[in-house]
Chains A and B, each alone.
Chain A
C-alpha cells in the first residue's frame, strides 16, 4: 500500500493534546478512588448524559468504525441493519425492561446477577468466558491499532503497542471505570468531529445523495428491498437479519455484555440507569452518517473499490484512504486522533470490565473470599497491570481475519448469543431453575461452537460468512432457551423470596416515576418510532 499518510507538527500537536488531557483526567481522578465501588463503578454517581454517551462509545471502537465503513463499501446501505435493526430495539429493551433488575438489585456485575438468580456454577461459566473474551478482544484491537498505524503512518508495531498500553495503564490505574468512561465521552466528540469533514467533502464531490442514486447500482441503495432476492448484497435473508442479527446477536450484546452494561450501572440512580441506553440510542441511529456515507463515497471516488475493483480489494483500508484523499494536515491530525482515541478507549473499556469481573467474580468468589473492601480495591488496581500485560501478549499472538468485523461477530456469537436466552428466562420467568440456567447456557455455547465447526467443515452451507454467523447465533439462542426450560421442569426451584428484586412478578414496580419528559418509556418509544421511520425512508 503506497498510502503512507504524512503528518506534520500541527497533527502531532493534536495527538499530543489528547494524550495530555487523558493523563490529566486520570491524575485528577486518582485521589477520589477510595472504595471498590469508586474504582469499579464510578461510585454509582454519574449523570445519564455521561453514561449514555459512554455506553454508545464503548461500542464505537475504531475497529467497529473501520469495519462498518468496509461493510458499507461492500454491501451498501444494507449496513444500516447493524444500527436500526441490530441495536436500537435491544438498547431500548435494556433500558425499559431489564435495567430495573440490573440496577435495582444493586449487583455490581452481570455474572453477579447470574449468581443471585441462578447459582454459582452459572456465574462461574459466564465470568470466566467473559474474562477470557474481553482480554482477547483487548489484545486483538491493540494489534489492529498497531498494524493500522504502521501501514498508515509508518510507526513501529512495538512502539505503538507499548505506547498505547502504557497510556491506558496510567489513566485506568488512577481512575478506574471513571477514567474509562470519561475517555469514552471525549472519544464520542472526537470521532464525530474527526470524521465529519470526510463525510462533507465526500458528499460535495459525489454530488450528495442524488449522486449516489445516479452512480451506484440499485441494490446498494436499499436496506430492505433486496433482502429476499439473489441481488441482496449481504447474502443474508430476512429471517437471518431479523432473528439472527436484530434479535439474538443484538440483544445478546447490548443487554448482557458487561462492557456496556457496566456503564449503566455507574449511573447515579435508577432513572439515570434506565435512560443510559435510551440516550445512547439516539446518536447510535446517526452513526450511519459517519460510516455508510464514507463507504459509498469510497466506491465512487477511490479506484481501488470502483468498477475495476480486484476481488482482493481490502475494504478495511477504505476509511484510511478516504482520509488521505480529502484531509489536509490539521483536520487530518484530528481524524487520526479520533481513531487513536477510539482504540485507546476501547482498550480501557475492556481492561476495566475485565478488572471488575476478575476482582468480584473470580478472585473475590473463588480465590480470596470475604476480604475487606480495601483489599479488593488494591487487587483491582493491580489487575489493571496484569490485564494490560495479557493484552500486549495477545496482540503479539493474534492473527487477523480478512474482515475484522466478521471475526468480532464470531467471537461474540459463541458466548453472548445464548446468554440472552438465559437472561430473558431469568428475568421474566419465575420457573427457571438454577440448574436450568446453567445447562441452558452451557448447551447454548456448545451449540454455537458446534455450528461453527460444522460450517467450517462444509456440512452446513450459507450464502456468506455473515449469514452463517447470524444463523449460528440464532441456533445457539434457541438451544439455550429450550434446554433452560426443559431442565427447569425437572429440577428444584429457588425459594421465591430469594428472587425478590431479580425477577419480573416478584419485584415491586419502581414507584416514584420521573416527570413524563424524563421517563425512559417515553424516550424509548420515540427512539423506536424514529428507527422505524428511518427504515421506511431507506427501504
Chain B
C-alpha cells in the first residue's frame, strides 16, 4: 500500500484508517434503495406517474442510485483488496 510518508504530524493514537470504511454502508444503502426503486418503477402501475409529469421517476432515479451505490462498493472493495496485496 502506498502509505504517503508526509503524515508525520499525526500524534499518537492514530490508527490504520478509521474504525470502519464508510463507503461500505453508503454503498449498500444506496444500492439497495436503487434496486428497490428500479424494480418498483418497472412493476408499478403507470398512473402513479401522472404527478411526475409522466416520467417514470422511480425507475430512472432507482437506476441512477444503483449506479452510485455500486460505485461506492467497487471503490471500497478495490481499496480493501489492494490493502491485502
Please report A residues at the B interface, Cβ cutoff 8 Å: 10, 13-14, 17-18, 21, 24-25, 28-29, 32, 35, 37, 42-47, 50, 106, 178, 182, 185-186, 189, 193, 197, 201, 204-205, 268-271, 325-331, 334, 510, 512, 514
Contact = CB atoms under 8 A, between A and B. Distances in A.
A37 B52 contact: no
Q: Which of A44, A185, A197 has the most CB of B within 10 A?
A: A197
Contacts of B19: 28-29, 32, 42-43, 45, 178
A182 B49 CA distance: 34
Contact of B57 (A47, A50, A197): A197
Nearest to A24: B25
A505 to B, nearest CB: 21
Contacts of A106: 11
24 contacts: A17-B29, A17-B33, A29-B20, A37-B13, A44-B13, A45-B15, A106-B11, A185-B22, A186-B22, A193-B30, A197-B52, A197-B57, A201-B52, A268-B7, A268-B10, A268-B18, A271-B9, A327-B52, A328-B52, A330-B44, A330-B62, A331-B37, A331-B58, A334-B37
Given A327-B57, A330-B41, A28 B33 contact: no
Contacts of A205: 53
Nearest 3 CB-CB pairings of A with B: A330-B58, A328-B48, A32-B19
Contacts of B25: 21, 24-25, 182, 186
Interface string B1-34: 0000011111101110111101001101110110
A25 B24 CA distance: 10
Decide if the interface of chain A is mainly helix, strand, loop or mixed.
helix
B74 interface: no
A492 B9 CA distance: 34
B33 A45 contact: no
A331 B61 contact: yes
B25 to A, nearest CB: 5
B70 interface: no
B22 A182 contact: yes
B77 interface: no
A21 B37 contact: no
B15 A186 contact: no
B65 interface: yes
Contacts of A328: 44, 48-49, 51-52, 57-58
Contacts of A17: 29, 32-33
A169 to B, nearest CB: 20
Interface residues of B, number: 38
Q: Which of B8, B28, B61 has the most CB of A within 10 A?
A: B61
Interface of B: 6-11, 13-15, 17-20, 22, 25-26, 28-30, 32-33, 36-37, 40-41, 44, 48-49, 51-53, 55, 57-58, 61-62, 65, 68
A373 B40 CA distance: 51
Given A28-B19, A189-B30, A45 B14 contact: yes
Nearest to A45: B18
B37 A28 contact: no
Contacts of A29: 19-20
A127 to B, nearest CB: 24
A13 B36 contact: yes
Contacts of B20: 25, 28-29
A243 to B, nearest CB: 36
A13 B58 CA distance: 14
Contacts of B18: 42-43, 45-47, 50, 178, 268
B48 A329 contact: yes
Nearest to A513: B6
Contacts of A28: 19-20
A14 B32 CA distance: 9
Contacts of A46: 18
Contacts of B57: 197, 201, 327-328, 330-331
Contacts of B8: 512
A514 B7 CA distance: 9
Contacts of B30: 189, 193
Given A44-B11, A205-B53, A269-B10, A330 B40 contact: yes
B61 A10 contact: no
Contacts of B58: 328, 330-331
Contacts of B33: 14, 17, 193, 334
A42 B18 CA distance: 9
B22 A18 contact: no
A515 B21 CA distance: 25
Q: Which of B6, B18, B53 has the most CB of A within 10 A?
A: B18
Given A28-B20, A182-B25, A334-B33, A325 B51 contact: yes
